[in-house]
Structure 1
Amino acid sequence: AVVGDNRNLPIPLPKHHDVRVMTLDGALLDGKPSAPALTVFQPSAAPGFAPTHPSEDADLERVRGHRVEVGGQAWKIVRGDLHRHTEISMDGATDGTLYDTYRYAINAAELDFIGISDHNYGQWLDTDEPSNPQSDSEYQWWRAQKLADVFYVPGRFTPLYGYERTPNFPLGHRNVFHDKRGVFSLKVPKLHVRESPETLDSDPQNLWSYLRRTGGIGIPHTTATVMGTDWNRRDDEVIPVVEIYQGDRNSYETQGGPRSALPEEPGPGGAGRKPFQKGLVWNALGAGYRMGFVAASDHASTHISYANLIVPAGLTTRADLLDAFRARRTFASTDNIVVDFHTAQAQQGSEIRASEAPELAVNVEGTGPIRTVEIIKNNRVVYTKRGEGASKVSFRYRDEAFADTSMGETALIHDWKRPETGVRARPSESESYYYVRVVQSFSAAEPEKPGEIAWSSPIYVLR
């Protein structure tokens, strides 16, 4: 039985939770109730189309089999999606049910973890008005958390407890995750705080306090859209990573970057236009933010956006996943690409101190020919390695201009020194960040056309 409530899927939420059931007349079974006979499914014919990912089984085996030892610890990669909706969300009707989402994650995509992120467990506008039926989402909250336990398979598949919190620009949408059950969502003030300017500072502070109190994390997404942020309010401890790419929309790395929107070619949600350009990730990095990178889906998109976590080899628990987020041991990809980026002692996402340029190890295993592997330092591309048609690229990089810690130009950086914003300026001590961007060729016939992409998390180097 499922919650039906005589509704069509486009109607946001059931209100009475009516359940339809049926009975079977034992007489129809000759008085001997028994289970129906099961037969092996025999497809009538082979599919008449080519699979989208003909090498996916081999790709997954390569990702899951990857091991690297860094800092005396053996590490592996787990891959998942941290932004999927279901019928619980007011805009999730076409995404299907909770069961559909778990079926996709386990069977179709063969993910290692998932974070379903329905809007405030079913809440939406005017959630501070108790008379509004959409304010009461306790049943949806219970159902979402219950199914996260039902589908938990230790060592194989790990659902997180999560939801999406949705105040609009300049505060920004964030997906919120916990590793323990029983934490309810933090409500969004009426009308996304637009009519209450005084809450522009208090609402983020409430979120930071809530995440510390409950042991959760928040992940900003669609940062350079109407759903994004201007980066004026920060807390790196509880907001450790950012969704740099979304399968349903765009990349939000930098203006002019791969799959990013431009003013003359804007994307959904105002991407590429003012004032939303303030939310580009390079603007945050230019201000001294410490963030790791993930990719995720949101709506409809499948098999094109992954959050990859680097965790200790062995059994992976929910706590291991959140530890990886907090340590920024993550990389984002649009396909099953391996991005292994580290120093001798530190994984990607780490903050290290060095008096001379550290040696950065880069190992990339693609799903097709690699066009370029770039090293980005302080908002500039400082090194490019051509793939020359190979699907694997490995090299070591040492920055010959290590003493130069200047920050590259960014779009619409504002005055980060305003004390009321809570955003500190870049520290006086010298520092740089480095990360890897991988761009595959679109096809063998079009090797220079950009194809699938991956982004490592930055390594932050303090002198």
Structure 2
Amino acid sequence: MRTPIPFRGEGKRLLPLAPSFLALALAIALFLPIQQGACAEALPASYDYYFGNLHSHTSYSDGVLTPSDAFKHARDAARMDFHAVTDHGYYMQEATNLHHWFMALEEADRFYAPGRFVTLIGYEWTFTDGHINGFDTSRAASRDTQRSVPEFFEFLAEHSGIGMFNHPNYGIQPNWNDFEYSGLGDAHISLLEVGSGPYRHNIRNERAYRRALDRGWHIGATSDQDNHRADWGTAAPTRTCIIATELTREAVLAAMRGMHTYATEDSNVRVFFSSGESVMGDEIVIDPKALMAGEPLEFRVYVSDPDAADHLELVQIVASGGEVVWESELGQAPPHATGAIGGAYETVVTLAPRSSYNWYYLRAVQGDDDVIVTSPIWVTTGSGIAVCDFAPADAVVREGLSTRVKAEIVNRNKGAIDRVKAVLYETGESGRRAVSSQCVDLTGWAGTDIWFDWTPTAPGEARLQLELVLPGREVPELFQAAPILARGAGITRVLIDEGHNNR
């Protein structure tokens, strides 16, 4: 499992804050004007932005030409910093064309130029539940040998590989049983195509991204082209941006594992999302008592595009459940409007985590409707427990009428946790009242459903809270449901005649 980055300076410093950011924060706090030079560096000096594509094909499977052609086009025509050829794995097995796998590796080595252009060879594992790209393994997986999703996860684990969920569009595939949580898979699947091809248009998969995050997956955002024609990188301006220490294979693969990425429909926009020393892709572990006390965290937002025509329309922070917890509408704002510095937008946002497990990502929209989505920052209490689908089963909830409330408890720990006390509370201005409680055993690396009975006592907005008492932990874990509208007892019943179609 990935090691969380400790909060408040404890342990390793991943990305130290630049002095320019400290100057910015102080200026915002004092409501002083900010000099343009104060924000000249979007990233610490040792890091940079690198743009490329992590999903493409050649004639070694169902595309055209060769990996050499793909790398040359991506480097010279698309002017990308990195490019991955990911032909279908079942084309490169002993029973098919195994030699193509080794030829692709040799071609990638010929075009690899550290500091200028990084070449990667991966493969696409195709299965009825969904397609997944694999990277950094000694051979390609195939649907003919890895015949189920768990078997593919085992293959990645055996080879210490990196996985990426491909084109997670609910219209074309079931998305791995709606992103059913697998701890083994989560240990190696690092990325998801928030934007994906095919060909000359981008398909937005933000709904699937949010669903995977809610179900406990730790994955970062990419936007790739799934090229099958000779247009590697030029089919569309969409890019995956990687924040890395240098332009080498090792650094790019490390950034992919660490989810230091964002998905962009603009080919060169710079985005930085951080909190303290943690950046997109990191997990911040807070004291459970700080959560109970409502202590906030500061998030830094930075968006900059070197193209003057690409003005920023909207910036949002999206949180667990898909809730927009902060946004700034900029419209046609000139460069020196509030928060815009020399053509860049930068601000600091204060947010208080609501639950023991939270994720936040930055979403930006440009004037031409290009969308940028970053990898999340997770804020948790370190228990390894997430909760999703915490809501009544009934679409309409009525005062005085019992309804069933479900929650899926995701145990991201490898080991099982037995005898967890789960208490459902209804909260309001007068405090909270216990509705029901039970004990539940949590399977390791999996989700467990739990059900409660709840009867709203009054019409209007109701709020539910789930408290989990884990053995050996002093402070309970807290999770909030989205607000629920309870209808009055006298709600009108409407009968609909579906036997006629009079128009």
TM class, shorter-length: 0.5 to 0.7
Which residue does the alignment assign to 2:445? none
**How far does the alpha carbon of each residue in 1:262-315 deviate from its partner, in whole angstroms, 9 at most, with x for none?**
xxxxxxxxxxxxxxxxxx122111112211101100025624221111112xx4
Matched ranges for 1:112-191 at <5 A: 112-120=81-89, 122-123=91-92, 135-169=95-129, 172-178=130-136, 183-189=138-144
Matches within 5 A, 1:204-219: 204-219=149-164
What fraction of aligned residue pairs are identical, expressed as a percent? 28
Q: SS of the residue aligned with 1:240?
A: strand
Partner of 1:398: helix, strand, or coil? strand
- SS of 1:207's partner is helix
Aligned residue number for residue 378 of structure 2: 460
Distance (whole Å) between structure 2 residues aligned to residue 147 and residue 100 of structure 1: 9
State the distance in 1 between where 2:353 and 2:75 align: 48
Q: How do 1:306-455 and structure 2 match up within 5 A? A: 306-312=239-245, 315-335=246-266, 336-354=268-286, 355=290, 356-366=295-305, 367=307, 368-378=310-320, 379-390=322-333, 392-399=344-351, 402-405=352-355, 430-442=356-368, 451-455=369-373
Contact 2:194-2:223 within 8 A present in 1 as well: yes
Opposite residue 291 of structure 1, the aligned amino acid is I
8 Å CA contact 2:114, 2:249 repeated in 1? no
Counterpart-to-counterpart distance in 2, 1:68 and 1:86: 35
Contact 1:66 1:76 (C-alpha < 8 Å) held by counterparts: no
**Preserved CA contact (<8 Å) 1:247 1:304:** no
**How far off its partner does 1:68 sit?**
1.4
Structure 1 regions of 5+ residues with no counterpart? 1-64, 194-202, 255-279, 406-429, 443-450
TM-score (norm 2): 0.58
- Specify the code of the residue in structure 1 equivalent to 2:91: G
Question: Residue type of the partner of 2:370?
Answer: E
Query: CA–CA distance in 2 between the matches of 1:121 and 1:115?
Result: 17
Question: Given that residues 297 and 304 in structure 1 are in contact (C-alpha distance below 8 angstroms), is that contact kept between their aligned partners in structure 2?
Answer: no
What is the rounded CA distance, in whole Å, between the counterparts of 1:287 and 1:357 in structure 2? 24
Q: Distance in 1 between matches of 2:90 and 2:303?
A: 38
Instruction: Work out whether 1:291 is the aligned partner of 2:219.
Output: yes
Is it true that 1:76 corresponds to 2:48 in the alignment? yes
CA contact (8 A) 1:84 1:297 kept: yes
2:106 maps to amino acid? K
Q: Which amino acid aligns with 1:333?
A: T
TM-score of the superposition, structure 1-length normalised? Answer: 0.63
SS in 1 for 2:366: strand
Q: Flag the 1:66–1:305 CA change in 2: closer, same or farther, 3 A.
A: farther
Rounded to whole Å, the distance in 1 between the matches of 2:189 and 2:41 is 28
Paired residues of 2:359 and 2:379 also in contact (CA < 8 A): yes
Alpha-carbon separation, structure 2, partners of 1:433 and 1:233: 16
SS at match of 1:160: strand
In structure 2, distance between residues paired with 1:213 and 1:323: 18
* Structure 2 residues without counterparts, runs of 5 or longer: 1-39, 334-342, 382-503
Q: Tell me: CA distance 1:83–1:246, structure 2 relative to 1, closer, same or farther (3 Å).
A: same
Q: CA deviation at 1:116?
A: 0.5
The within-5 A match list for 1:8-23 is: none
Q: Distance in 1 between matches of 2:42 and 2:365?
A: 22
The one-letter code of the counterpart of 1:358 is L
**Higher alpha-carbon deviation: 383-392 or 284-293:** 383-392
Q: Distance in 1 between matches of 2:274 and 2:299?
A: 6
Greater strand proportion: 2
- Cα distance between partner residues in 2 of 1:357 and 1:323: 30
Match of 1:222 in 2: 167
Q: CA deviation at 1:187?
A: 1.9
Q: What is the root-mean-square deviation of aligned Cα atoms in Å?
A: 2.2
CA-to-aligned-CA distance 1:314-366 (integer Å, 9 cap, x gap): x4321211211111111110111111111121111100023322110001013
